[in-house]
Amino acid sequence: MLVTFKTDVGNITMFGDVALQMIKMMGHSETVPGAILAEDLPLALNRLKTALATEKASPSTNEDSDEKEPVISVMHRGLPLINLLAAATEAGCDLMWE
């Protein structure tokens, strides 16, 4: 499953498991579709940044994955969403995901 985060300033698409984790970090239930109003985005952005900062910087390991495949940390995966939320906050627009 893929989840697309949409705003008036841009869109990003993430794999479902990572997207649901980010949605939960923003303080929302892991439901798709969903939305956050513009006035609530600063709080969601702050929660996401705080949650990602408390996560270990080391990448998670997946024993089923191919050894040649690079492992990407949760913080690195969250950066595009942080940037999108920051831009949406500046522009004063809502965030939706589906």
Structural domain including 91 reads 2-53+72-97
Q: Which tens digits make up the pLDDT trace of 34-77?
A: 999 999 999 999 999 999 988 864 455 555 555 677 887 888 88
CA distance 26 to 3: 15
Please check whether residue 66 lies inside any domain of the structure.
no
Please check whether residue 88 lies inside any domain of the structure.
yes
Q: pTM above 0.85?
A: no
Instruction: Check if the beta carbon of residue 5 is closer than 8 Å to that of residue 19.
Output: yes
Please check whether residue 65 lies inside any domain of the structure.
no
Please check whether residue 9 lies inside any domain of the structure.
yes
Instruction: Check if the beta carbon of residue 71 is closer than 8 Å to that of residue 61.
Output: yes
Q: How many domains does the chain have?
A: 1
Please check whether residue 59 lies inside any domain of the structure.
no
